[in-house]
């Protein structure tokens, strides 16, 4: 029966590839077709038409879109992401270092928010309807909707300006050790933690409440198992599994905040790279940056799906009846 796993994973992989391909088309469309005339968009409405034509030729955007797309894809496969107009150098190295920086920030965020959010969600579900549940729910919900730039300002005021506990800039001096790096990362991480916390707590709570009221939980209680065993063996596993997938599926979306936070704290990550490219109308850079963000999301969801499949016997052994 476990033979069903192979085809399932293959299918899932194929779907991810399809999504990636569609993503490239969408991004390409947004960066090359939608602006109509990239050179005009870059140079502005008052530019000399000859300059526009020359730039278009230089950018290669005077060719038919399909051709541009194919050569872009060809480049991507060989690791060539094109030439940045603004920096006049290849895009790829920028993307690489920005991605590493963003991953550091994201890792800090998750290291703080996942245990916090899941813990709060579990607690709220166990005390469903009581004041602590209301507190977690309402606080979580209110925090989730505060834009990162708003909470950043508040945090900067308190921790960097008034208390001077944490450095304002996210960029650490070159050659700093991990601890110093971490110290610089905490302040930018907090706004994202605030946004994600309510979300994770809410998802966890929903999953827990469902598992707590499930018939199998009642069976376990009626077996006479102590409450701790009921929780650890029967409730948590069934509650958290789906929650993990849901959380992962929303991550990319929630990480849009990176753009804001990185630009606000002047941090050289993929978010500020994309924003900079957008401001400079550096379409090659923009295109590569956005595609990287999307690809990162697709890979995370794929991994989350695979993990849940491996852990969930219903999926692992095929055929949900």
Partner 1 sequence: MSEALPLTEPAPGLAREARTRGVVGRLLRTPSFLIGITILLFWAVCAVFAPSFVPYDPYADDLLNTLQPPSAEHWFGTDQIGRDVFSRVLVGARAILTIAPLATLVGTVAGTAIGLITGYFGGWVDAIIGRLLEVMLSLPLIIVALLVLVALGPSTPTVVVVVGLVFAPLVARTVRAAVLTERHLDYVAAAAVRGESAPYIMSVEILPNITPPIIVEGTVRLGYAIFTIASLSFLGFGVQPPTPDWGLAIAENYGVLIGGFWWTVVFDTAATASLIVGVNLAAESLQRALAE
Partner 2 sequence: MTDPAVPPVLRLDDMSVSYRIRGRAVPVLSQVNLSIAKGEVYGLVGESGSGKSTVALAVQRVLPANGRMSGGRALINGRDVGALDRAALLQMRAREVAMVFQDPGRALNPSITIGRQVAEAFEILGASGHEARRRAEEMLTRVRISSPARVMERYPHQLSGGMQQRVVIAMALAKDPSLLILDEPTTGLDATIEAEILDLVDTLRREFGASILFISHNLGAIAGLCDRVGVLYAGRLVEEGPVRDLFADPRHPYTAGLLRCLPRPGLRKDLAPLDTIPGFPPAPGSIPVGCVFAPRCALADETCRTIDPPLVTTGAGRVSRCHHHDRVGDLPHAVPRAAAGTLAPAGASTGTPVLELTALSKTYGSAPYAVQALRDVSLRLMPGQTLGLVGESGSGKSTLAHALLGLIAPDAGGGMALDGAALAPEVRRRTAEQIKTLQIVFQNPDSALNRSHSVRRLIGRAITRLGGLKGAQREAQVTRLLESVRLTARQLSARPRQLSGGMKQRVAVARAFAGNPRLVVCDEPTSALDVSVQAAILNLLAELQAERQVAYLLISHDLGVVRYLSDWIAVLYLGRLLEVGPAARVLDGPHHPYTEALLSAAPSVSGERTGRIRLTGAIPSGVSPPAGCLFHTRCPRRIGPICDTEEPPFTADAHGHAIRCHLPRAELGRSLAPATA
Question: Applying CB under 8 A, which residues contact partner 1?
Answer: 15, 18-19, 22-23, 26-27, 30-31, 34-35, 41, 138, 141-142, 145-150, 153-154, 156-157, 160-161, 168, 252-260, 263-264, 274-275, 278-279, 281, 286, 290, 293-294, 297-298, 301
Binding mask 103-142 for partner 2 (x = CB under 8 A): --------------------------x-------------
Residue 9 C-beta: closest distance to partner 2, Å: 17
CA nearest neighbour of 198 among 246, 239, 146:
146
CB closer to partner 1 out of 128 and 236: 128
Q: How far is the CB of 118 from partner 2 (least distance, A)?
A: 18
Determine the Cα–Cα distance for residues 275 and 277; give it in Å rounded to an integer.
Answer: 5
According to CB under 8 A, which residues from 205 to 224 bind partner 2? 214-216, 218-224
Q: Based on the number of CB atoms within 10 Å of its own CB, is 213 exposed (0-12), middle (13-18) or buried (19 or more)? A: exposed
Q: How far is the CB of 22 from partner 1 (least distance, A)?
A: 5
Which of 112, 225 has the CB closer to partner 2? 225
Contact in structure between 201 and 165 (CB atoms under 8 Å): no
In whole angstroms, give the CA distance from residue 308 to residue 76.
31
Question: Contacts with partner 2: how many residues (CB under 8 A)?
Answer: 27
CB 70 within 8 A of CB 25: no
Structure tokens at 118: 């899941």
The string of DSSP letters for 104-158 reads HHHHHHHHHHHHHHHHHHHHHHHTTTSHHHHHHHHHHHHHHTS-HHHHHHHHIII
- Check: CB of residue 285 under 8 Å from CB of residue 270: no
Q: How far is the CB of 117 from partner 2 (least distance, A)?
A: 22
Only one of the segments 111-119, 195-203, 258-266, 308-316 lies at the binding site for partner 2 (rule: CB under 8 A); that segment is: 308-316
> What CA–CA distance (Å, rounded) separates 188 from 105?
8
d(Cα 35, Cα 21) in Å, to the nearest integer? 21
Residue 48 interacts with partner 2 (CB under 8 A)?
Answer: no
Q: How far is the CB of 160 from partner 1 (least distance, A)?
A: 8
Q: Which of positions 235-274 make contact with partner 2 (CB under 8 A)?
A: 237-238, 241
CB of 134: closest distance to partner 2 in angstroms?
Answer: 15
Q: How far is the CB of 268 from partner 2 (least distance, A)?
A: 43
What is the SS3 assignment for 224? Answer: coil
Q: Which is nearer to partner 1, 22 or 221 (CB)?
A: 22
Query: Residue 1: which of partner 1, partner 2, none does it interact with, CB under 5 to 8 A by kind?
Result: partner 2
Phi, psi of 54 (to 5 degrees): -65, -45
Q: How many residues does the chain have?
A: 321
| Interaction site with partner 2 (CB under 8 A) | 1, 129, 214-216, 218-226, 233-234, 237-238, 241, 311-314, 317, 319-321
């Amino acid at each position: 029966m476990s033979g069903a796993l192979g085809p399932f994973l293959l299918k899932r992989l194929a779907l991810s590839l399809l999504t990636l391909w569609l993503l490239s088309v969408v991004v390409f469309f947004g960066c090359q077709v939608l602006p109509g005339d990239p050179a005009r968009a870059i140079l502005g409405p008052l530019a000399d038409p000859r300059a526009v034509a020359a730039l278009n030729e230089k950018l290669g955007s005077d060719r038919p879109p399909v051709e541009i797309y194919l050569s872009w894809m060809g480049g991507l496969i060989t690791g060539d992401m094109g030439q940045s107009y603004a920096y006049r150098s290849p895009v790829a190295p920028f993307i690489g270092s920005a991605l590493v920086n963003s991953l550091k920030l994201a890792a800090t965020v998750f290291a703080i928010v996942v245990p916090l959010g899941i813990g709060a969600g579990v607690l709220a579900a166990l005390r469903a309807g009581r004041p602590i549940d209301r507190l977690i729910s309402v606080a979580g919900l209110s925090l989730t909707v505060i834009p990162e730039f708003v909470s950043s300002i508040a945090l900067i005021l308190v921790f960097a300006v008034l208390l001077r506990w944490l450095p304002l800039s996210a960029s650490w001096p070159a050659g700093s050790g991990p601890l110093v790096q971490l110290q610089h990362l905490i302040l930018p991480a907090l706004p994202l933690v605030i946004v994600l916390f309510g979300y994770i707590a809410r998802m966890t709570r929903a999953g827990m409440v469902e598992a707590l009221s499930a018939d199998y939980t009642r069976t376990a209680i009626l077996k006479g198992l102590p409450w701790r065993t009921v929780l650890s063996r029967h409730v948590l596993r069934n509650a958290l599994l789906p929650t993990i997938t849901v959380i992962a599926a929303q991550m990319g979306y929630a990480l849009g905040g990176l753009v804001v936070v990185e630009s606000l704290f002047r941090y050289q990550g993929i978010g500020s790279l994309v924003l900079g490219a957008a401001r400079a109308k550096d379409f090659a850079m923009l295109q590569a940056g956005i595609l990287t963000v999307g690809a990162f999301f697709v890979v995370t969801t794929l991994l989350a799906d695979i993990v849940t499949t491996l852990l969930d016997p219903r999926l692992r052994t095929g055929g949900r009846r």
